[in-house]
Amino acid sequence: MPPLRIAVLASGGGSNLQALIDRFNAAAAEPVARVELVVGGRPGIGALERAAAAGIGSHALQPREATDAGAWLDLLTQHRIDLVVLAGYLRLVPSAVVETFRGRIINVHPALLPAFGGMGMYGMHVHRAVLAAGARVSGATVHLVDERYDTGRILAQWPVPVLPDDTAERLAARVLAVEHRLLPLVVEALARGEVVGPPATDPVGFDLESRAAPAEGHVRSLLVLGERG
């Protein structure tokens, strides 16, 4: 099987992008996936520098392109992208792009969705809200992207304890470290056919059964709880 061709969209420093590059593009033999395109939510961001350093093609969205589904689809088609990964991309994906790539766009979010998600819940806003709510557990979520913020089906979560003396910055750093492990795991599982889209009527939940490739068209969720193996 040729490697799954990934586009990563980012609006910031791109540390999750780097985790994907390290896992797949720098891998020695027969990677199951490769980052083939990096799309920056704006010019001049760290994610675009990381793409250049890794020799990966990139494109900085001009303001008018962010909502231009045609421009997105041209770009994704030109690069023959199989999977779109939002890693710190802060805007909504144009709905025609969601429609075309439904089930093939994922996002990483720095909390345990469905809690602490939605419009405005990004970056430090998330971690401050977690602390303000007195939550004892936070974590990272990877989910399918739909037309709204953070509401698509959850594919995987990794809990992180909230410590009594946590600040938003400390909690953010611990969650980010987990994101760097969870996101490549999910991409790898998708590339191996181990996670596929769940039946739309199924409530959000987790299926801890077999991780074997499911029957075509059937979707299983993957729950990753802490250390594996």
For position 159 contacting ligand GRF by CB under 6 A, the verdict is no
Quote the CA–CA distance of 165 and 97 in Å, as a whole number: 42
Tell me the closest approach of the beta carbon of residue 167 to ligand GRF, in angstroms.
16
Stretch that binds ligand GRF, among 8-16, 57-65, 144-152, 155-163 (CB under 6 A): 8-16
Dig out the tokens for 81 from the structure.
């992208």
Dig out the tokens for 66 from the structure.
């962010």
Rg over alpha carbons for the chain, rounded to the nearest Å, is 17
Residue bearing tokens 């001049």: 44
Task: Report the Cα 201 to chain-centroid distance in Å.
Answer: 23
Binding flags for ligand GRF, 14-53, as an x/- string (CB under 6 A): xxx-------------------------------------
Quote the CA–CA distance of 88 and 107 in Å, as a whole number: 8
Tell me the closest approach of the beta carbon of residue 155 to ligand GRF, in angstroms.
14
For position 109 contacting ligand GRF by CB under 6 A, the verdict is yes
In the set 59, 109, 127, 180, the catalytic residue is 109
For position 184 contacting ligand GRF by CB under 6 A, the verdict is no
Contacts 24+ apart (CB under 8 A), 162-166: 162/130, 162/131, 162/135, 162/136, 162/137, 162/138, 166/131
Handedness of CA 19, 151, 227, 127 (dihedral sign): positive
For position 154 contacting ligand GRF by CB under 6 A, the verdict is no
Please indicate whether residue 109 is annotated as part of the active site.
yes
- Length reported for the chain: 229
Stretch that binds ligand GRF, among 10-18, 50-58, 60-68, 73-81 (CB under 6 A): 10-18
Stretch that binds ligand GRF, among 6-14, 77-85, 129-137, 184-192 (CB under 6 A): 6-14
DSSP reduced 3-state for 167: coil
- Chosen residue from 13, 31, 103, 159 binding ligand GRF by CB under 6 A: 13
Catalytic site residues? Answer: 109
Residues that bind ligand GRF (CB under 6 A): 10, 12-16, 87-88, 108-110, 176, 179
